[in-house]
Amino acid sequence: MRFCVKCGKDLERTIGGLCTDCYLDGRKFTTLPHHVDLEVCAVCGEYYLGGKWAPSGRRKAAEDAAVEHLGALNGSRVKFVETFSEEQDPRTYLVKVISEMAVEDVEVEAEASTIVRIKNTVCKRCSRIQGSYYESILQVRSEERALDEDTMSEIVSMVTDYVDQQSKVNRQYFISKVEKMHGGVDFYLSSIALGRIMAKMVSDRYSGENKESAKLAGRTDDGQDMYRITYLVRLPEFKAGDVVVYNGRHYKLVRIFGTGGRLLSLKDFKEISIRRPDMPSLKVYRKRSELKDATVVSGGYPEIQILDPLSFSTVEIRVPEGEMIGETVKVTDIDGVLYYVP
């Protein structure tokens, strides 16, 4: 049989020589520092909590910061906390943390308070954005002299949408600068990985060709060589909808995807697949925008009658089965003969 050294009560087991009541009496099981500094980014408004920057409400952030600094007495375990806060001024909160604790096999409630002071700073990401930091450049150019405006804005939205989306989960991702130049567009990107992803995405979409080059840009804080990578994506002249020549035959380029494309023969309207490595052999015969509109005189199948847009004489051209024919159709001439372009 043992006894409590303080009150003398006999008992089976003691905690540090004391009975439970004497052990718990007046003891502080949780501690908090006198004050806690909480950083908030003055630019994006995110808070530095748990070792990373994250969005939060002001009061919630203050309470979380207090809990983060909560200390528990050796041998005790915090099971659950509840926080109460009182705003003293917009940058100062008095936060009380009430903890449910397990000490040995006894449940105790403990209370501690601190003052949380909110300090303005600029997070790493915002300071990098402000400093136009970049690790890679995505350069998009065209085989033609210049990238047309439509394609250019399509690519700008594609890249910015993707980065906007991804930056919500990966704070390392941002665009420092978008620059239209030399008939193309340059994106200054925050990471090498992002440059690689975007280069693949853009070239897959248009069946472009990729090149990358590295340039020594200085040293990192720990003395390593730091490289910037430039990803050059050269877009082909052809686009979906154009009439192209492949192996001496004329086709409509129906679709482009990451692994190649689909071509539709203008002679018999049969489709064939073409692999990505063979895509560069496609030559543009007529851009979609250069195709002529011909007025339809009468419909039918397998031929319809149209007015030749140059001579205005009536000619018959073949159309695919089941095609919906409107008042005008797109046509192209090949060796002096008109062909229907779906």
- Residue 40 binding Zn ion, by CB under 5 A: no
d(CA 155, CA 204): 12
Residues 303-342 that bind Zn ion (CB under 5 A): none
CB of 124 to Zn ion, least distance (A): 8
Tell which residue, 224, 174, 227, 225, has the closest CA to residue 198.
Answer: 174
CB of 8 to Zn ion, least distance (A): 7
d(CA 314, CA 319): 16
Q: Site map for Zn ion, 187-226, x if CB under 5 A?
A: ----------------------------------------
Whichever of 43 and 115 has its CB closer to Zn ion, that residue is: 43
Q: Which two tokens stand for residue 110?
A: 């403990």
- Residue 296 binding Zn ion, by CB under 5 A: no
Q: Site map for Zn ion, 4-23, x if CB under 5 A?
A: x-xx-x---------x--x-
d(CA 115, CA 62): 9
- Residue 61 binding Zn ion, by CB under 5 A: no
Considering Cα of 138, then 139, then 141, then 146, what sign does the dihedral take?
positive
3-state secondary structure of 222: coil
- According to DSSP, the β-strands at 106-121 and 209-219 are unpaired
Report phi then psi at 245, rounded to 5. -110, 130
CB of 20 to Zn ion, least distance (A): 8
Per CB under 5 A, the list member of 65, 97, 123, 243 interacting with Zn ion is 123
Whichever of 164 and 225 has its CB closer to Zn ion, that residue is: 164
- Residue 128 binding Zn ion, by CB under 5 A: no
CB 240 within 8 A of CB 251: no
Using CB under 5 A as the criterion, which residues of the chain lie in contact with Zn ion when the complex forms? 4, 6-7, 9, 19, 22, 41, 43-44, 123, 126
